[in-house]
Each structure stands twice: as structure tokens, then as C-alpha cells.
Amino acid sequence: MKTILDSDQVGQILDDMCSRIAADTCSKPNVAVIGVRSRGEQLGERLAMCLAGKLGREVPSGTLDITLYRDDLNSPQSHWQPQVRTTEIGFDIDDKFIILVDDVLFTGRSTRAAMDALIDLGRPEAIRLAVLVERAGREFPIQADYVGYHADVKPDERIRVRLVECDDKDEVVVE
């Protein structure tokens, strides 16, 4: 296991991403942040609070559960037991400029599932993707609009994001 981002680096990256998003959305009165469960949820909450401070207005945030939209849900090769949790979006997403937040962008499959789930909830003005870590290995033509860190890892390595809200510390490691 190798640490590629420590707590200070994670904090700085999120602040930099927030500044970039704020600069791009300052003229949009309808910005909202939605985090993909589970680590995207915490990152999304952090970004929404930061954006509210930089934009000087409330930025609604919510959490999206994509379990039922995953394309590996019924795969016979999967040993994964899905745990369906709630989607918690306390606002109408119609005509909102959505910042969709996830921890790692790898194959693009989770992002595809998240966009499908969002579209089932309404018709946003636009969806922009923000990820803490991006790595090679895309299987779908999906790219992030806001990337915190580009990780150069081998195909068989896994990136694990740990956040203080659920793991007692902020760090990103390669396993």
C-alpha cells in the first residue's frame, strides 16, 4: 500500500477544485452539488460548503445512490452483494446546473449509472463531473470536467479514497 495523497493534499485539491468550479459557475444562480454514494457524498458536501462560501449564496447538495443502475448488479461473476441505500436530494433538479461528484473516475461505468439515475429524477440544465482522482482505464467515453489528481497506476492496482467522515482520516492510497 502506497499513500499518494495525504490529508493536507486532499484539502488543497478540494479547495483548488472548488475555486475552479466557482469561477465557472459564478454566473449560474441554479448550481447544486450531488455526490455519488459513498465517498462522493462526503466530497460533494465539502464542495457545496466551499462553493457557498466562494459564491456567497446557498448551494444545495444531495446524495445519489446508483446501486440499482449499475450494469454489474446481476452479473454471475460478481461476488458483490448490493446494498441499496437512499438517494437524498431535497430539491428539484429540473433546470439545475448539477455538479456531480465522485471519488475516483476509472472505467466510467459509475458515472454512466449516476447520469441515468439523475435523468430519472428530472431534467437538469447541465451536468458537470468533478472527481478527486482520475486514472486510466476508461470503458465508456466519459471524462471529468474537474479533476483533482491524475493517478498513474498499473491496471491491476486499486485506488482507495479514505475520508475523515467515514474512515477517520483523509488520504488516497494505491493497493
Torsions phi, psi for 47 (to 5 deg): -65, -40
**Given this model, what pLDDT does residue 81 score?**
61
Query: Does some domain include residue 79?
Result: no
CA distances from 70 to 31, 78, 109, 147, 173 (A): 26, 12, 7, 23, 25
Residues 6+ apart with CB under 8 A from 89: 34, 62, 63, 64, 121
Question: Cell 483548488 belongs to which residue?
Answer: 16
**Given this model, what pLDDT does residue 160 score?**
97
Written as tens digits, the pLDDT of the chain (175 aa) is 999 999 999 999 999 999 999 999 999 999 999 999 989 999 999 999 999 999 999 999 999 999 888 766 655 565 656 677 789 999 999 999 999 999 999 999 999 999 999 999 999 999 999 999 999 999 999 999 999 999 999 999 999 999 999 999 999 999 9
Query: Does some domain include residue 23?
Result: yes
**Given this model, what pLDDT does residue 65 score?**
95
Query: Does some domain include residue 147?
Result: yes
CB neighbours (10 Å) of residue 144?
20
User: Which CATH number characterizes residue 66's domain?
Assistant: 3.40.50.2020
**Given this model, what pLDDT does residue 71 score?**
66
Range of 120's domain?
A: 2-73+84-174
**Given this model, what pLDDT does residue 86 score?**
85
How many domains does the structure of the chain reveal? Answer: 1
Query: Does some domain include residue 78?
Result: no
Query: Does some domain include residue 121?
Result: yes
Query: Does some domain include residue 148?
Result: yes
Query: Does some domain include residue 138?
Result: yes
**Given this model, what pLDDT does residue 83 score?**
73
Q: Is the pTM of the predicted complex or chain greater than 0.75?
A: yes
Torsions phi, psi for 45 (to 5 deg): -65, -40
Give the tens place of pLDDT for each residue, 43-77. 999 999 999 999 999 999 999 999 888 766 655 56
